[in-house]
Structure 1
Amino acid sequence: MRKPIALAIAGLAGLAGLALPPAHAQSSVTLYGIVDTGVTRIDDAGAGGGNTLLRSGNLLTSRFGFRGTEDLGGGLKALFNLEAGLNVDTGATSTPYFNRQSWVGLSSESFGNVWMGRMLPIISDIFISSQQAPYLGNTAAAIDGAAIGAGSSVARFNNMTQTRIDNAIKYQGPSLAGFKVHAMTALGEVAGSSSAGRILSLGGSYNSESIEAGLAYHEKQCTDAGGCAAGKDKDKIFGVGGSYKFNGNRIGVVYTSQKNALNVAGNDADVFDLLVRVPLGQVVLGAGYQYLNDKTSLNQDTSQVNLAATYVLSKRTQLYALYSHQSVKNGGKAGMYSVTSSKDKQNQFSAGIVHMF
């Protein structure tokens, strides 16, 4: 049936004066996604009392997307990826729609990959995608960025998680004995200035059968057209880390240092992450310890312990249980899942199911 249908479509297109793209046997488009939801209990939701919620994306962020590739010959491929966030508990989708990824690019066996659009920064590619830092235990409660409660004075955004970059151009070199170079720039698109809001990321990574390691540098210029205004400065992040893999186990360490977070002068912090992952048959255990050294005058250092257990039902489906405890010093308010506690401590527990397709 496919051939007559294709001929009919081509004929109609010709009658309408439309040009169809040429057919390629090596072209493909894939629909993929993750559906994750479960029950979450937060012991202090800001008013001194707890809250029980049905939440989407406890272990892995719920999403769906389209990725495509076309073999252009000679080791060259065209690629694209469009990915939207999804709240399974309400059915709501992200705004803008493809807010997680939206890019198109080329891949060459000899020269590497180039992408253009909205995507994750280099520091995330190296320490999240490569080293699987989500095995800190509870990814949604990660101390290193967006998941810290908005009302917490220790909130930092070191681009380890969640942060996507608009108007970006990214390059990843080919693997040379396990080593890769990474580079990204993003146009600020601020009227009257070619540098305001501009982002630059550079990095290097190494990947072997037992070791993954890397380092990265990320900076963002102030968005003021006339240069950084009073009280602002260039946001600069440096990260280094690695992990060791053996018999399916993984032990890793990641360290990031950020100066002038969110372009606020003196808004500095260091974050240290330790992660462990141990598979025991169908059960996979994960644990992480995270410590944020607040270098502002508030000195509200934060520590967090994450524990996770997943039960693998199949290659696509897992059950999970997660626990996180966060503690903040010097009068700071704890906060996870963007829910700020009324106290300096907060606990949360989640249990649910995740399916990947």
Structure 2
Amino acid sequence: MDKKILLATVIALATAPALAQSSVTAFGLIDMSVGSTKTPGATASVLGADSGKMTTSHFGFRGNEDLGGGLSAIFQLEGFLRADVGASGRSNTDNFWARNALVGLASKEWGTLKVGRNTTTLFVATLSFNPFGDSFGYSPSIRHIFTSGTVTGDSGWSDSVLYTTPNFSGFTGSVFVAAGEGQGGRNVAASGTYVSGPLAGALVYQQVKKDGGATPVDDTTVWMGNGSYDFGVVKVFGQYAQVTNDTKNVDYKIYEAGVSIPVGAAKLLAQYGQISPTSGAGRKTWTVGYDYWLSKRTDLYAVAMIDRLSNLSAGESFSVGMRHRF
């Protein structure tokens, strides 16, 4: 069924009328690596070939149509894939277009409005202010915010409306709402981002009340501050998040610090992060890596991580891999 949906989409896009002021772009990224994974408390490591350890493999289509007067109609259709087994989605439970599926309007004067399934502003800020980006395999920031039982809600929200302001001398703001549609309540978020030369910062608020599935999701509230400064010889990153689980009455403080050091066509990467909860196990994660660019679209990487949960043996993982963008 998934193949039929993709084929129908490709045919429809390929046969659409060619307009002089319209464009459609096909794009994606495939990330494959080999390595060893040992989770905290496990007794043995697992050797394997994995998809998406540094960046979740994905594909998609995006386009725009000039409507005149500086206004454009836009769309995005993006799905995840598991290149190691040739399957769509991050898992068998993902919808086909789980990354983004939206239409909208964009204007330099009035900003951008997107309606559909949108990537969350919390996820964008988290990946933008740590040296390992959106790596679910190795970024302490991504792991602590999105896979450690702290924040609820996915990295994308369905049934959502996202508005982003124009750029005001380096500052952009956004407001984000996902309709509840009878699933426990709605999700809301707001963010502000400032970029000026080597300095960048972002503040994000997010509240999740929408269950979004058969298994109830805890209500959570997040405040997160982010900053980075590029000194040329080294770029430094810092993040602090305070998460309240309103259902379980547990608070989490999350600290992240990292560096990216350019070395010719490569970068040395390092990050430390920790989770300090008011109850339950704390977590500390160290990650180091080397990322070498063969071209603008292709890079090779080697990365290693030590992941510790209170009262459990340390998790130790490493990967050597390749990413190609198209």
TM class by shorter-chain length? 0.7 to 0.9
- The answer for the alignment partner of 1:176 in structure 2 is 168
Alpha-carbon deviation of 1:139?
4.5
Determine what percentage of the aligned residue pairs are the same residue.
29
Secondary structure of 2:137's aligned partner:
helix
Superposed counterparts of 1:1-357, under 5 Å? 24-43=19-38, 48-94=43-89, 95-128=94-127, 131-135=128-132, 139-144=136-141, 155-157=149-151, 163-190=155-182, 196-221=184-209, 223=211, 234-247=219-232, 249-260=234-245, 264-296=247-279, 298=280, 300-329=281-310, 331=311, 343-357=312-326
Q: Residues of 2 paired with 1:137 and 1:170: CA distance?
A: 20
Alpha-carbon deviation of 1:61?
1.1
Task: State the AA in 2 paired with 1:208.
Answer: S
Alpha-carbon deviation of 1:164?
1.2
Q: Residues of 2 paired with 1:268 and 1:252: CA distance?
A: 24
Q: Residues of 2 paired with 1:275 and 1:121: CA distance?
A: 22
Unaligned regions of 5+ residues in structure 1, if any? 1-19, 332-342
Secondary structure of 1:124's aligned partner:
helix
1:173–1:279 CA distance, 2 compared to 1 (3 A)? same
Q: Residues of 2 paired with 1:110 and 1:353: CA distance?
A: 40
Q: Residues of 1 paired with 2:35 and 2:172: CA distance?
A: 39
1:64–1:88 CA distance, 2 compared to 1 (3 A)? same
Q: Residues of 1 paired with 2:231 and 2:132: CA distance?
A: 15
Secondary structure of 2:35's aligned partner:
strand
Secondary structure of 1:127's aligned partner:
helix
Secondary structure of 2:123's aligned partner:
helix
Count of aligned residue pairs for this structure pair: 305
Task: State the AA in 2 paired with 1:155.
Answer: G
Larger Rg: 1
Instruction: Decide which structure has greater strand share.
Output: 2
1:65–1:223 CA distance, 2 compared to 1 (3 A)? closer
Secondary structure of 1:176's aligned partner:
coil
1:55–1:108 CA distance, 2 compared to 1 (3 A)? same
- The answer for the alignment partner of 1:339 in structure 2 is none
- The answer for the alignment partner of 2:5 in structure 1 is none
1:290–1:139 CA distance, 2 compared to 1 (3 A)? same
Secondary structure of 1:123's aligned partner:
helix
Whether contact under 8 Å (1:135, 1:276) holds in the other structure is no
Q: Residues of 1 paired with 2:180 and 2:293: CA distance?
A: 43
TM-score by length of 2: 0.86
TM-score by length of 1: 0.78
1:223–1:136 CA distance, 2 compared to 1 (3 A)? closer
Whether contact under 8 Å (1:44, 1:51) holds in the other structure is no
Unaligned regions of 5+ residues in structure 2, if any? 1-14
Q: Residues of 2 paired with 1:135 and 1:144: CA distance?
A: 9
